[in-house]
């Protein structure tokens, strides 16, 4: 529930996003552009906001949460296991100013959210409020996606391999819709609706970039799963057609989330 749980208990693995970012071999911004679901078209006259989300040390973050257990408890291998990385479930969002009307409109085309086998391509995806999301099955199975938060968000029939299903309009803003599979336990994703398109996923190395931002002074906030992460806010001054000074967001080892008002 937003704002009630500790961050450490809600982080999910992020290997895929991190691996994808490495594989891109470009800048963090480019990685985000390639890997994130397609947002609305960026204004070429807008500025660019870039930054990095820095994690606490591995010792402070601790182990990844245990979601499941078989007959025996999991045990670490010979090498220390990887620590929790919450960034794949985070979205950097600009707030504090008024975006132009065109940046508040949902895109004409549905946002794409892919299922890669046994997981969504990213644990969390953000869309402009009122957008329609097309869920594409790139795996071999035929999941039956549903949303516990809104029963008629997704058609209930299975999505065959290569097929897709469109959701209803994702609204209102600042609300998260969870997607789950009736045939498996682990397949899960989230869609969050934001009031404009000034947001970005975080690459595996922590970089993010938001293009076409209207000039002005913006607050940089972090959305984590179901609410705003209680992290120190950063302010950025956006100038038209210029890249802002890189922002560094230091995530504490443990934080909580607050629901959006």
Partner 1 sequence: MFWSKIWFFLVAVVAGVTLTLALVMPRPAERATVVAETKRLAHACSVTEILLRDFAQSRIQLAGETARVQGVDRALVEATRGEAVPAGAYATAKKILADDLSFGTKRKGNDVVPYRPDLILALDGRGRVVARSGKDEKVYGDSLAGFYLVDDALNGYLGDDLWILGGQLYLVAASPVINTTDLDYAGAMVIGEAVDKEFATELADKLDVKLTFYAAGEAVATSDAAQLYEDVLARAPKLFKRAPGSDCRAQEAFSVSAGDSSYWALVARLPGEAGSQGAFYSVHIPQERAIGFSGTIGAVTKNDLSFSHFPWLRVAVVFLLMVGVGIALMIFEADQPLRRLSADVVVLAKGEGERLAEDRHRGKFGSIARSVNIALDKLHRETRAAKRDLDQLLGPLPLEGEPTAGSVLVAQRHESGLSAAFTPPPPPPPPSEFRFTDGGSGVRASSPGPVPGVGPSFSAAGAAQLAAPAVPPTDERTPPPPVSLPPMAKGPAGKAPAQRPPVPRGRLATPPAARGPEGSGAGPSYQNEYPSGTAPSGRTQQISIEDDEEDTVVAAGRGPAGVAIAGAAAGTGSAQADDGAQYRAIFDEFVALKRRCGESIDNLTYERFLAKLRANREALIAKHGCRTVKFQVYVKDGKAALKASPVR
Q: Contact positions toward partner 1, by CB under 8 A?
A: 13, 15-16, 19-20, 23, 64, 67-82, 116-120, 139-140, 184-187
Q: How far is the CB of 78 from partner 1 (least distance, A)?
A: 7
- CA distances 186 to 180, 193, 224, 229, 232, Å, are 8, 23, 19, 24, 32
Task: Return the number of the residue (17 or 93) whose C-beta is nearest partner 1.
Answer: 17
Cβ proximity to partner 1, 62 vs 215, nearer residue:
62
Taking the complex as a whole, how short is the minimal distance between the CB of residue 143 and partner 1, in angstroms?
11
Which DSSP category does 170 fall into? B
For partner 1, give the closer residue by CB, 174 or 180. 180
Nearer to partner 1, 7 or 21 (CB): 21
Considering the complex, state which of residue 7 and residue 238 has its C-beta at the smaller distance from partner 1.
Answer: 7
CA dist., res. 178 & res. 147, Å (int): 5
For residue 82, the minimal CB distance to partner 1 (Å) is 4
Q: How far is the CB of 20 from partner 1 (least distance, A)?
A: 8
Closest CB to partner 1 among 196 and 225?
A: 225
Distance CA 259, CA 58 (A): 27
Other CB atoms within 10 A of residue 160 CB: 11
Per DSSP bridges, beta strands 164-166 and 188-194 are unpaired
**Minimal distance in Å, beta carbon 60 to partner 1?**
17
- Quick one: 173 or 253, whose CB is closer to partner 1? 253
Q: State the nearest-atom distance from the C-beta of 18 to partner 1, in Å.
A: 9
Q: Cβ 184 to partner 1, closest distance in Å?
A: 7
Degrees (nearest 5) of the Cα angle 89, 93, 97? 165
Smaller CB distance to partner 1: residue 84 or 93? 84
DSSP-assigned letters across all residues of 106-164: PPSSPEEEEEETTEESSSEEEEETTB-EEEEE-SSS---EE-SS-TTSS-SS---TT-E
Contact 137, 166 (CB under 8 A): no
92: enclosing H helix or E strand? strand 90-95
- Max distance between CA atoms of the chain, in angstroms, equals 58
158 touches 144 (CB < 8 A): yes
- Least CB distance to partner 1 at residue 116 (A): 5
């Amino acid at each position: 529930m937003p704002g009630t749980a500790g961050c450490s208990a809600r982080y999910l693995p992020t290997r895929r996003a991190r691996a994808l970012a490495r594989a891109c071999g470009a800048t963090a911004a480019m990685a985000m552009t390639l890997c994130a679901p397609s947002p609305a078209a960026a204004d070429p006259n807008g500025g660019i906001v870039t930054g990095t989300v820095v994690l606490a040390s591995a010792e402070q973050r601790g182990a990844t949460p245990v979601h499941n257990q078989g007959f025996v408890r999991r045990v670490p291998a010979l090498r220390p296991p990887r620590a929790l990385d919450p960034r794949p479930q985070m979205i950097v969002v600009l707030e504090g100013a008024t975006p132009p009307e065109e940046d508040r409109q949902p895109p004409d085309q549905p946002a794409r959210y892919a299922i890669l086998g046994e997981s969504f391509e990213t644990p969390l995806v953000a869309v402009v409020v009122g957008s329609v999301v097309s869920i594409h099955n790139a795996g071999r199975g035929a999941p039956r996606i549903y949303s516990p938060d809104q029963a008629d968000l997704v058609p209930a029939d299975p999505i065959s391999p290569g097929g897709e299903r469109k959701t209803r309009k994702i609204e209102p803003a600042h609300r998260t819709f969870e997607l789950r599979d009736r045939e498996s336990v682990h397949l899960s994703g989230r869609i969050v609706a934001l009031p404009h398109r000034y947001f970005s996923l975080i690459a595996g190395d922590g970089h993010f970039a938001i293009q076409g931002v209207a000039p002005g002074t913006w607050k940089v906030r972090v959305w984590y799963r179901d609410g705003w992460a209680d992290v120190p806010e950063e302010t950025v001054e956006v100038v038209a057609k210029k890249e802002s000074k890189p922002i560094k967001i230091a995530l504490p080892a443990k934080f909580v989330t607050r629901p959006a008002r």
